[in-house]
Amino acid sequence: MNRILPLPSACNFRDFGGYETRDGRRVRWGRLYRSGALAPLSAEDLERVRALGARAVLDLRRADERLVAPNPDLGPEVIEWHWAEGEERSPIAGRNFPPQVDPAVVRAAMLAMYGEMWQSLRTRLRGVFGGLADAAGAPVILHCTVGKDRTGIAAALVLTALGVPRERVLEDYVLTNEAVDLEERLARGVAGAVGGLGLAESTRHLLRLPTEVRAMVLRADPDYLEAAFAGMEREFGGVEAYLERALGVDAAARERLAGELLE
């Protein structure tokens, strides 16, 4: 099956099912979708997304992002989930890097961001699993603005909870680099325009960075996601322990999830 859906106006919209688990089962196709902002969808692509039959949209964006680029109406049966801000101490959002900043400095900031995002997003990550439980195996769409950072961590944790090996989880994360040209999307427009990204004011300063510097922000680097896993492992002793103790996703919850999403 084609993991990257043929939706020209979508940003990084793809199916993250189909991965084999450590016990030989497989994540069901057509149940788990991940994406960037949905606001830029053309009328034609919006109809295609509606036809997927999603029953929930799990929106990881901040309130200012939702205000700039509100989600389109996917139908009366679709429940939209979003959460209170909590703490989001991103070294990228709201930070004005100097024009001559070294790309290595920005890459280090991205590693630091991932190294703590699993903490600052805890409320939203816990909510993702609540939304999946509520959907009871029906299709869901998980998204943020570009579908890489917050969505990347959330999707990685969902796949991990289902028993997908780390190498496949990383493979899904870096697929962003093939699924979308984020630099080109920035050039199209930043909010609401077809193919744009819907950037909030707190992140528009990224448009002023040199291309080679901005690439450190836009790239899905496996080291970024590994930094998140390393943080969970340092504090909790493992990702499964983080799922259980921080997000409330214990063995019983993982087995219920597996019963709904694995075949």
Residues marked as catalytic: 144
Contact indicator for 14, 176 with CB cutoff of 8 Å: no
Q: How far apart are CA 110 and CA 127, in angstroms?
A: 24
> 17: how many CB neighbours lie within 10 A of its CB?
22
β-bridge mates for residue 262, sequence order: 27
Token representation of residue 261 = 């999403």
Q: How far apart are CA 84 and CA 254, in angstroms?
A: 25
39-75 burial: b if 16+ Cβ within 10 Å, else e: bbbeeebbebbeebebbbbbbbbbeebbebbebeebe
103-140 burial: b if 16+ Cβ within 10 Å, else e: eeebbebbbebbbbbbbbbeebbbbbbbbbeebebebb
Q: How far apart are CA 101 and CA 136, in angstroms?
A: 47
Token representation of residue 171 = 């493979």
